Amino acid sequence: MTNPYHLFVGIDLGSDFHQVCVVDQEGKILGQRKIEHAGGAIQQMLAWLAELAGGASPETVAVAVEAPRGAIIDALLEHKYAVFSINPKQMDRFRDRYSVAGAKDDPRDAYVGANSLRTDLSHFRRLCADHVQVVRLRELSRAHDALQEDWRRNANQLWSYLQRYFPAMLKLSSAADELWVFDLLEQSQALSQCAAALGTEELAKLLRRNRIRRFSAEQLHHSLQDRLALAAGVEEALAEQVLLLLPRLRLLHQQRMEVDRRTESLLEEMAEEKFPEHRSVEILRSIPGLGRVFLATVLSEAGRPLLDRDYHGLRALAGAAPVTRRSGKTTIISMRRACSDRLRNAVLNSANTHVQKDPRAKLIYARLRGKGNTHARALRGVADRLLELICILLSSDQLYRIERRQAPKTDAA
């Protein structure tokens, strides 16, 4: 296969400096540079590449990187260079071609990237500049995951404190992550004796304010009477830590709500004519079980296979495609580990909801479970078929209609 590019550039990315190596079609090194991670230095690198290209179009210059995004990658894409990404594990295998002893340094890695792009172009994935709305959606989606992780970490810390000195609260809110719990702790200074001294009228106001109806003020008052006998000073010390933790939890809750609001608003904008793939948002929203988190994740993390209606690429990226290992008479089929963790989690969570809301998905899940598969394996099977359904609907440009769904074949896997 002839390589359509004239120059090949390998960039070993770093936090402060980037190592750049340029080779020609014969593999001869034309130049090597160490580029500082700064605006002026990156502009100088672009000018240097244009000089080495000798006036040729940037589209004839291929650039190899390990990371799919970053400041230097955005600059290259903006100037129309052909940028390719490769998995670091694959790059490590390419490195073994040039040093069986396992030697590794930045100039060598840059050269390996450039020369491997020259000889094994098909193993690299070409990057494309995303639509501005997709870029924003990706950052909001990742911010949501980061805030969710921080929220769960801090809520678990609150649970740990309460479990040590105030377990009565955990009988009312097992995860200790509800706003009414924060209100009650602040109102009682996080002390069990102060909470037990609150009257039913005060507790009733607190429950009404937070719209809690699963138990009454009398039941809450009765539960708060159950107190532990602790050594002197232990409860006060732990209550102080709880009061310091509560503002963080409230702030994280507000930020999560704000990110969700902005994400929902952005998805509404993308469903309009302004977004080139606006129909995709409408089609995905028509499928039972696919909510805001799924849409934000799949549109931002799997935009290219979704745009190409590439079912096989999508299922591999989401971890739904199994991995087969054959050697002689032995065949082992296992779960795919090399995938996007964010996309895998979004697809599996949505598949779980899809099973509850879609009759055909429920039948597929029941059949897989009936064959002796575990819940996780059956859920991956449902997720795989969900991705196939998405690609079919996108290819045919049709909304989901439950009456069009046919019963699954009895001999299907």
Say which CATH number the domain at 167 has.
1.10.287
Q: What pLDDT is recorded for position 265? A: 93
Q: What pLDDT is recorded for position 364? A: 94
Q: At which of 129, 145, 169 does a domain end?
A: 129
Query: Cα separation of 37 and 22, whole Å?
Result: 18
Q: What pLDDT is recorded for position 237? A: 95
**Is residue 272, in this structure, part of any structural domain at all?**
no
Same domain for 107 and 32: yes
Q: Which residues contact 82 (CB under 8 A, 6 or more apart)?
A: 5, 58, 59, 60, 61, 62, 63, 126
The candidate with the shortest Cα–Cα distance to 388, out of 332, 334, 313, 322, is 313
Same domain for 89 and 16: yes
Query: Considering its fold, how many domains does the chain have in total?
Result: 3
Same domain for 71 and 88: yes
Q: Does residue 84 contact residue 117 with C-beta atoms inside 8 Å?
A: yes
Lookup result for tokens 């002893």:
101
Same domain for 70 and 146: no
**Is residue 410, in this structure, part of any structural domain at all?**
no
Query: Cα separation of 378 and 319, whole Å?
Result: 14
Q: At which of 200, 229, 261 does a domain end?
A: 261
Q: At which of 98, 129, 160 does a domain end?
A: 129
Structural domain span for residue 15: 7-129
**Is residue 1, in this structure, part of any structural domain at all?**
no
Q: Does residue 77 contact residue 127 with C-beta atoms inside 8 Å?
A: yes
pLDDT for residue 412 is more than 50: no
Query: Cα separation of 314 and 257, whole Å?
Result: 29
pLDDT for residue 124 is more than 60: yes
Maximum Cα–Cα distance across the chain: 85
* Count of Cβ atoms closer than 10 Å to residue 396 Cβ: 10
Same domain for 108 and 152: no
Percentage of the chain exceeding pLDDT 70? 96
Same domain for 166 and 110: no
Same domain for 124 and 147: no
pLDDT band at 294; cut points 50, 70, 90 = very high
Q: What pLDDT is recorded for position 133? A: 87
Query: What CATH number has the domain bearing residue 47?
Result: 3.30.420.10
Q: What pLDDT is recorded for position 270? A: 85
* Beta bridge partners of residue 10, listed in sequence order: 21, 64
pLDDT for residue 407 is more than 60: no
Same domain for 246 and 159: yes
Same domain for 194 and 284: no
Same domain for 219 and 139: yes
pLDDT for residue 390 is more than 90: yes
**Is residue 269, in this structure, part of any structural domain at all?**
no
pLDDT band at 58; cut points 50, 70, 90 = very high
Same domain for 108 and 154: no
**Is residue 267, in this structure, part of any structural domain at all?**
no
Same domain for 360 and 252: no
